[in-house]
Amino acid sequence: MEIEQYLPALRRADDRFADVTAAAVLDRGWSARVPGCPGWTLADLVWHLATVQRFWAWVMRTRAESPAGYAEPARHPDDELLAYGAARSAELEAALAAADPGERVWTWGPRQDVGFVLRRQLQEATVHTADAEQVLGDVRPIPADIGLDGLDEWLEVMVPASLPDGPPPHAHPVVLHAVDADAERTLFPGSRPFPIAALTGTAGDLLLAVWRRVPLEVLTVDGDGLQAAAMFDLVDLG
């Protein structure tokens, strides 16, 4: 994706998240379980995204050099969460719109600029929107460009963050083929001469699979699916 595409895509994801969570509250209630986030209720999901967006809006607004000065908000009552979440989305979008993507800001990753925040927050909203859609049973396809960029981010940022010393000795490559993006990526390339499995699907389904939001059964699996799932599990997302 081009850098100028991130903010419009984030706005669309935020709007979809707001719409689907409002519908899910009416249909299922705040205590509805979120399949992609074991142990979470719908209220937990909305609160989580709101607090993540609040934090990054603070980083953007203050140009903080570390997270040390950030004050965590008190949990809001459930009946305030929809409005609170919408306000935090708007706050983050405005802060990002006012910044140059190349401007330096603190992040937890190796890339210390606004562009990192744009990319990460688009993927945060995209995956959590899918979480909310699963609650409602109305999961929409993730656009191919967003799915592929998210897959790239997972491989380029999340995997090294989880495994800073590289793949463990028992790692095997897993090939990921995104049919709608006509692209192929590999988890743990070079760890063995041949991949343990090749997984084929849309870029969005591959993205949700590596984030453990959907089972590998939604993909076409050529090879050892159980071992492929075990390779995903080596990447600790906690």
Domain 3-136's class? mainly alpha
Mean pLDDT by 10 residues, the chain (238 residues): 97 98 98 97 98 98 93 97 98 98 95 97 98 95 98 97 96 98 97 97 98 96 97 90
- Helix (H/G/I), strand (E/B), else coil: 29: coil
71 phi and psi angles, rounded to 5 deg? -105, 120
Whole-number Cα distances in Å, 80 to 22, 31, 46, 75: 12, 15, 11, 10
Q: What is the pLDDT of residue 237?
A: 77
Show Cβ contacts of residue 177 under 8 Å, excluding neighbours closer than 6 positions. Answer: 183, 184, 198, 199, 200, 201
Q: What is the pLDDT of residue 199?
A: 98
Q: What is the pLDDT of residue 71?
A: 96
Q: What is the pLDDT of residue 2?
A: 95
**Model pTM score:** 0.96
Domain 147-233's class? alpha beta
Q: What is the pLDDT of residue 178?
A: 98
The ranges assigned to domains in the chain are: 3-136, 147-233
DSSP assignment string, 104-168 = B---SSS--BHHHHHHHHHHHHHHHHHHHHHHHT-PPPPPHHHHHHHHHHIIIIIHHHH-TT-S-
Hey, how many other C-beta atoms are within 10 angstroms of the C-beta on 202? 20
DSSP 76: P
Q: What is the pLDDT of residue 101?
A: 96
Identical fold at 3-136 and 147-233? no
Q: What is the pLDDT of residue 183?
A: 98
